[in-house]
Amino acid sequence: MLGDIWNIVLYKPLLNALAFLVSVVPGANVGVAIIILTILVKLILFPFAQHAIESQAKMKKLEPEVAKIKGSGKSKEEQARLTMALYKEKKVNPLSGCLVTLIQLPIIFALYYVFFKGINFDSSVLYPFIHAPAYTSMSFLGIADIGGKSLVLALLTGVSQYLQARLMPKAPVSPEAPQGSDKKSFQENLANSMNMQMKYVFPLIVTFFAYTLSGAVALYWITSNIFTIGQQLYAEKKGKREKKEGETNGKA
Q: Residue 139 to residues 131, 173, 174, 208, 210: CA-CA distances in angstroms?
A: 21, 48, 50, 21, 17
Which domain range does residue 70 map to?
A: 2-251
**Total domain count, the chain:** 1
Identify the pLDDT of residue 186: 55
pLDDT at position 158 is 92
Q: What is the pLDDT, as a whole number, of residue 174?
A: 47
Write the pLDDT tens digit of every residue in 152-163. 999 999 999 898
- Please state the pTM of the whole predicted model: 0.74
CA 124 to chain centre: 32
Q: How many CB atoms lie within 10 A of CB 129?
A: 7
CB-count exposure of residue 15 (10 Å: 0-12, 13-18, 19+):
buried
SS (H, E, C) 42-63: HHHCHHHHHHHHHHHHHHHHHH
**Predicted local confidence at residue 101, as pLDDT:** 62
* Regions of the chain where pLDDT drops below 50: 171-183
User: What's residue 184's pLDDT?
Assistant: 52
pLDDT for 46 equals: 85
pLDDT at 226: 93
Q: Tell me, what's the pLDDT at 178? A: 44
CA 138 to CA 145: how far, in whole Å?
Answer: 6
